């Protein structure tokens, strides 16, 4: 009996252990399958726009009159009259009287010169008559020839010289009388007046300074490497001048009239000269500049219109490396496009070849970019699936 127990009890324990093992094994849930994680790099892109583009060259300058004149007195005398507009900032028309010097002495000089000329002409006529009488008398004498002195030709020449001298004196007296009136040589603005009523002026005395209002000029410095973007190096190019007047930003139209033709020794710049017609709007029918004049001495910035590109794209400069940019192609793969850069413009570059309208330009950074590698577009389905897989994996780990 004891022997049977020794045999049965171990067998029973073994059977119970086996049953417990299978019981616990059936209670254990099978391991969950982990979602496959997509490690495709995600990128952000911007669409490339290709369109015609007009290039401009930036510059700056100060508005100056094309013509300016220092007025000086050409005769001596007392200033007896001043025009009301002959003040700083006054506008005057061509030939308008500015000041008058006492003309009495010059009028008397003219009368004296005219009297001298009348006397010289009378002497000339008298000498001509005497010469004719002498010639007739010598015609009666047949045995000898008359000399020029006998015919009074030297005396006649002397009287002709006296008449011409008298005519010159009259012209000089008239010119001096005209110079008693100081007039504007062209339409101008008064920059300064240096005489007063009753003051005495001598020959060469400075009277004032005029600034011509017909045309204003702006000297625009342009770097040598920027001339390539201007047609014919800027000749006859249109210009927009930007400045302020009465607290408002104003744009004025101008035109390149000429190049100064030399490189400045200090700035190493080439200077183009832009001209503005009627800067103060004194003759404009549209009053374009009358209410918004471009004043002399004003500082302006300039946009010089240059060449036109048939197709161009503007890209951030930081995206370009060795004249290549990263593109996401139609198969969602990385592709490096070789580009031709026409110009750098601040933080951007202007590309004329290598890109097409609608190309997907990659604007995000890649850690290890390889041409042809598979990429996922930011916000696309692949990115959402990848994110869901990651979140599922995290949740399973927590469980």
Does 35 map to a domain?
no
202 shares a domain with 81: yes
What is the pLDDT at residue 133?
A: 72
Can you list the pairs that 331-334 forms with residues at least 24 positions away whose Cβ atoms lie under 8 Å?
332/374, 332/375, 332/376, 332/377, 333/372, 333/373, 333/374, 333/375, 334/362, 334/366, 334/369, 334/370, 334/371, 334/372, 334/373, 334/375
148 shares its domain with 195: no
> Within this chain, do residues 244 and 278 fall inside the same structural domain, yes or no?
yes
Both 318 and 297 in one domain: the answer is no
Query: What total of structural domains would you count in the chain?
Result: 4
Residue 290 pLDDT: 60
Angle ∠(314,317,318) on CA atoms, nearest 5: 135
203 and 97 both lie in a single domain: yes
| 79 belongs to a structural domain | yes
Q: Are residues 268 and 316 in the same domain?
A: no
Range of the domain at 354: 45-54+311-398
User: Does 195 reside within a domain?
Assistant: yes
Residue 399's pLDDT is: 43
Domain shared by 136 and 203, yes or no: no
Please give the pLDDT value at position 203. 92
The sign of the dihedral angle between the CA atoms of 51, 57, 60, 62 is negative
Instruction: Among 195, 213, 231, identify where a domain stops.
Output: 213
Residues 293 and 350 both lie in one domain: no
**How many CA atoms are closer than 13 Å to the CA of 318, on its beta-carbon side?**
4
Q: Which two tokens stand for residue 220?
A: 């625009």
Q: For residue 334, what pLDDT is reported?
A: 86
Say if residue 265 is in the same domain as residue 275: yes
In a domain, 197, yes or no: yes
Kindly state whether residue 330 falls inside one of the protein's structural domains: yes
- Out of 250, 273, 307, a domain closes at 307
Domain stop point among 272, 307, 342:
307
Same domain, 49 and 60: no
Residue 34 counted as domain residue: no
* Residue 259 belongs to domain with CATH number: 2.40.30.170
Q: Listing from the earlier edge strand, what are the strands of the sheet with 334-338? A: 45-47, 360-362, 324-328, 334-338
SS3 content of the chain, % helix, strand, coil (to 5): 30, 35, 35
Domain at 377, CATH number? 2.40.420.20
- Residue 8 covered by a domain: no
142 shares its domain with 237: no
For the chain (399 residues), the mean pLDDT of every run of 10, in chain order, is 64 72 63 62 86 91 95 94 93 94 94 92 83 72 66 79 91 94 94 93 94 94 89 88 89 92 88 93 66 90 92 90 87 87 88 88 83 77 41 40
pTM of the model: 0.70
Please report whether residue 263 resides in a domain: yes
Q: Are residues 136 and 93 in the same domain?
A: no
């Amino acid at each position: 009996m004891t022997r049977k127990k020794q045999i049965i009890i171990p067998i029973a324990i073994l059977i119970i252990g086996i049953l417990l093992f299978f019981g616990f094994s059936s209670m254990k849930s099978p391991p969950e399958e982990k979602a496959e994680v997509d490690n495709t790099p995600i990128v952000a892109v911007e669409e490339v726009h290709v369109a015609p583009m007009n290039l401009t060259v930036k510059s700056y300058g100060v508005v100056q009159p094309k013509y300016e004149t220092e007025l000086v007195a050409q005769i001596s005398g007392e200033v007896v009259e001043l025009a009301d507009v002959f003040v700083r900032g006054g506008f005057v028309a061509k030939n308008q009287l500015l000041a008058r010097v006492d003309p009495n002495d010059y009028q008397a000089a003219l009368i004296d010169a005219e009297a001298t000329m009348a006397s010289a002409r009378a002497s000339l006529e008298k000498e001509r008559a005497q010469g004719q009488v002498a010639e007739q008398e010598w015609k009666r004498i047949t045995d000898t020839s008359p000399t020029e002195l006998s015919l009074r030709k030297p005396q006649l020449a002397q009287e002709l010289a006296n008449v011409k001298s008298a005519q010159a004196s009259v012209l000089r007296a008239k010119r001096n009388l005209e110079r008693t009136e100081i007039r504007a040589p062209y339409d101008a603005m008064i920059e300064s007046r240096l005489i007063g009523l009753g003051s005495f002026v001598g020959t060469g005395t400075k009277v004032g300074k005029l600034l011509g209002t017909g045309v204003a000029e702006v000297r625009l410095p342009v770097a040598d490497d920027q001339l390539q973007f201007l047609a014919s190096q800027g000749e006859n190019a249109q210009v927009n001048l930007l400045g302020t007047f009465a607290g408002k930003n104003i744009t004025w139209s101008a035109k390149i009239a000429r190049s100064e033709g030399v490189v400045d020794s200090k700035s190493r710049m080439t200077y183009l000269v832009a001209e503005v017609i009627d800067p103060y709007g004194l003759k404009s029918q549209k009053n374009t500049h009358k209410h918004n004049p471009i004043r002399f001495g004003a500082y302006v910035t300039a946009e010089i219109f240059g060449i036109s590109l048939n197709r161009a794209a503007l890209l951030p400069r930081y995206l370009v490396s060795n004249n290549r940019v990263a593109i996401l192609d139609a198969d969602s793969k990385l592709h490096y496009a070789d580009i031709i850069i026409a110009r750098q413009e601040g933080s951007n570059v202007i590309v004329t070849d290598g890109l097409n309208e609608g190309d997907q330009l990659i604007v995000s950074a890649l850690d290890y970019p390889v041409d042809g590698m598979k990429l996922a577009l930011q916000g696309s389905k692949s990115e959402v699936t990848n994110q869901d897989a990651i979140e599922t994996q995290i949740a399973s780990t927590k469980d």
